[in-house]
Amino acid sequence: MEALAAEKPILDVRSLNVVYGETPALKEINISFARNSLHSIIGPSGCGKSTFVRCFNRMHELQGEAKVTGQILLDGDDILTDDPFSVRLRIGMVFQRPNPFPSLSIADNVLSGFLINGIRPKKDEADAIVETALRKASLWDEVKDKLKKRSMFLSGGQQQRLCIARALAVEPEVLLLDEPTSALDPISTGSIEELMLELKKSVTIVLVTHNLSQAGRVSDYAAFFLLGELIEYGSGSTFFINPKDSRTDAYLAGRFG
Amino acid sequence: MTLRNRLKARLGFNRVVSSVFTGIVTFFSLLMVVPLVLILSFITIKGVTQLHWALFVSDERGGGILNAIVGSGEMVLIAVVLAVPVAVLTGVYLAEARNSKIAEVMRITVDVFQGIPSIVLGIIAYVWLVVPLRSFSGLSGAVALAIMMIPIIIKNTEESLILVPAQMKEAAYGLGAPFHKVILQIVLPAAMSGVLTGILLATARILGETAPLLFTSFGGPDLNYNLTRPMEALPPLIFKYAQSPRDDWVATAWASSFVLVVVVLFLNLLTKLVLRRWKH
């Protein structure tokens, strides 16, 4: 881990603790994420993966059930004490099930990060944002002729890429992906994986996944969580081939979880 | 300025509007509690001082309300017994036959039903029961109240049954279960809190009804357990005593109002309790 800390991380998590009522969900998490790379978070159900990424864009306070303590530094700013609205602009999120806004057109869905905040871009600006974001999300060629149509008729995979485009349109520094392919078929999953490999060149991605082979294919770094604790974190190549901790080894080998 | 910077610059303004909006929402919610608290405290102050033991154990004119308590109790009980099976089963039908034409028509009927003024339901019970039986009776009052309850319970039952996940039903059907088992052992138990809530709310609602009883149970000054004869109930009793020129009768009206409000509040709290129990 020393080697990773040497470069200046974009995200630095320091003694992060999350408690649901009386039950601890995350215990003393210390981890830092390098810029413009893909970090996958793996572990069995209930290990705290989703709880962990939801800390980054302050989703917990919407439910009001979890108590979050510690620090998460995004380029030095503590996002747990910052204004949640500006944090969410800097850290985008894509959820497990594709959730485009059903009443908006494809173009307006991409622009919704602006529209929903009361910014209405001019026609040429809007066109540029829509095209750039959809190209980044590899969806442009499929939808360029139907930008004014509702997003409902898109396939699940297309909808998920639309959600990624929506998140990218406001140019976040970090993109959180919470099991983005778990509701998708293998072909859509494949296209989203290719997309992640392309995106990580310009944005830091934190990916929660249940799919170990997916994590192996796309990760630069991987972290293994178990029962609310961070067991192991390392670069993808060594993590998946030669894990240090016997519990990580057992999980990767499919002996539990 | 780039769009992203405009977006950032906008956040401060949005935050202010957001807190103002939160403030307005909170303010009006609190505002709406004010009349409730005022009414409750007024009735409590006026009513509590007039409570005395004889009120509950005698039917002395102007001083005892035992006849009304017995009448309300019996009629509401009979109304619940009459309404619940019909309404719950209708609710099941509407929830299960989601797309059928008949269900669509029935749904509209139930909505219209709910909008019929309660005095009209009283007249209907009068024509159906009081006229053929040639007497005002507790039974006809109970029927009028039951008719009032039915649409409320149907709506609540239907809505809570719809919320039961289809996967749960599929799981039961997947094991070869017949329709009645799926409904009685899987769907209804899962939706029980909602169904019970509907029943309790409807009961609380009819407890305070005066109009449907005017031409049906009619009322009477003496203690009477017989459902085939005219019966007093709390709301019509309050209606009569409150208009009286005698101060002690008006005092009895206040005391009765307090009793009625306490019973209705109790039913509402019970509803909350049931909801919480079933959730965990």
Alpha-carbon separation of residue B131 from B39, B122, B234 (angstroms): 39, 12, 24
pLDDT value for B279 = 65
Question: What is the Cα B172 distance to its own chain's centre?
Answer: 33
* C-beta atoms of B7 and A125 within 8 A: no
Average pLDDT over residues B269-276: 86
- Across the A:B interface, residue pairs with CB atoms under 8 Å apart total 30
Average pLDDT over residues A52-69: 89
Per the CB < 8 A criterion, the answer to whether B65 and B240 are in contact is no
Question: What is the Cα B275 distance to its own chain's centre?
Answer: 15
B3 CB neighbours in chain A (<8 A) are 114, 119, 121, 125, 129
Interface test with B, best of A58, A86, A122, A123 (most B CBs within 10 A): A86
* C-beta atoms of A113 and B7 within 8 A: yes
Give how far A222 is from chain B: nearest CA, Å. 31
Give how far B2 is from chain A: nearest CA, Å. 10
Average pLDDT, chain A: 91
Answer yes or no: is pLDDT of A243 > 70: yes
B13 CB neighbours in chain A (<8 A) are 118
Chain B residue with CA closest to A168: the answer is B4
pLDDT value for A71 = 94
Comparing CA positions, the residue from A169, A243, A235, A180 lying closest to residue A207 is A180
C-beta atoms surrounding A204 within 10 Å: 24
In A66-95, the residues whose Cβ lies within 8 Å of chain B are 83, 85-86, 89
Answer yes or no: is pLDDT of B264 > 70: yes
Average pLDDT over residues A86-100: 92
Positive or negative: CA dihedral A234, A236, A241, A247 = positive
Q: What is the DSSP letter of A79?
A: T
B14 CB neighbours in chain A (<8 A) are 85, 117-118
Answer yes or no: is pLDDT of B150 > 70: yes
Positive or negative: CA dihedral B94, B97, B103, B108 = positive
Q: What is the pLDDT confidence band of residue B202, given thresholds at 50, 70 and 90?
A: very high
Answer yes or no: is pLDDT of A175 > 60: yes
10 Å CB burial of residue B229 (0-12, 13-18, 19+) is middle
pLDDT digits (tens, 9 = 90+) for B72-119: 999 999 999 999 999 999 999 999 998 899 999 999 999 999 999 999
Answer yes or no: is pLDDT of A188 > 70: yes
* C-beta atoms of B11 and A171 within 8 A: no
Answer yes or no: is pLDDT of A112 > 70: yes
Answer yes or no: is pLDDT of A249 > 80: yes
A129 CB neighbours in chain B (<8 A) are 3
Q: What are the residue boundaries of the structural domains of chain A, listed by start? A: 2-103+173-252
Per the CB < 8 A criterion, the answer to whether A58 and A233 are in contact is no
pLDDT value for A2 = 45
pLDDT digits (tens, 9 = 90+) for B222-232: 899 999 999 99
To the nearest 10°, the Cα dihedral for A213, A217, A220, A223? -10
User: Per this entry, what is the length of chain B?
Assistant: 280
Comparing CA positions, the residue from A178, A225, A227, A231 lying closest to residue A23 is A227
Q: Across the strands, what pairs with A178? A: A208
Q: The domain A2-103+173-252 is classified under which CATH number: 3.30.1650.10, 2.40.30.10, 3.40.50.300, 3.40.50.720?
A: 3.40.50.300
Per the CB < 8 A criterion, the answer to whether B235 and B208 are in contact is yes
10 Å CB burial of residue B115 (0-12, 13-18, 19+) is exposed
Q: Which of A89, A118, A125 sits opposite B8 (nearest CB)?
A: A89
Angle at Cα B178 formed by Cα B174 and Cα B179, nearest 5°?
Answer: 105
Q: What are the residue boundaries of the structural domains of chain B, listed by start? A: 1-48, 53-279
Distance between CA atoms of A73 and A207, rounded to whole angstroms? 18
Least confident of A5-19, B123-137, B161-175, B189-203: A5-19
Written as one letter, the residue type at B179 is F
The b-or-e profile of B163-195 (16+ CB within 10 A means b, else e) is ebeeeebeebeeeeeeeeebbeebbbebbebbb
Q: Which of B4, B6, B11 sits opposite A85 (nearest CB)?
A: B11
Residues 6+ apart with CB under 8 A from A20: A65, A66, A67
Instruction: Give this complex's ipTM.
Output: 0.74
pLDDT digits (tens, 9 = 90+) for B29-61: 999 999 999 999 999 999 999 899 989 998 888
Written as one letter, the residue type at B102 is I
B2 CB neighbours in chain A (<8 A) are none
Per the CB < 8 A criterion, the answer to whether A40 and A52 are in contact is no
Give how far B18 is from chain A: nearest CA, Å. 11
Written as one letter, the residue type at A211 is N
- Check if CATH label 1.10.3720.10 holds for domain B53-279: yes
- The backbone torsions φ and ψ at residue B53, rounded to the nearest 5 degrees and listed phi first, read -60, -40
Task: Give the pairing of strands A9-20 and A23-34.
Answer: antiparallel
In DSSP notation, A93-143 reads EE-SS----TTSBHHHHHHHHHHTTT----HHHHHHHHHHHHHHTT-HHHH
* C-beta atoms of A117 and B8 within 8 A: no
pLDDT value for A1 = 46
pLDDT value for B8 = 87
- The answer, for A28 touching chain B at a CB cutoff of 8 Å, is no
Answer yes or no: is pLDDT of B220 > 80: yes
* C-beta atoms of A86 and B8 within 8 A: yes
pLDDT digits (tens, 9 = 90+) for A6-39: 468 999 999 999 999 889 999 999 999 999 999 9
Q: What is the pLDDT confidence band of residue A257, given thresholds at 50, 70 and 90?
A: low
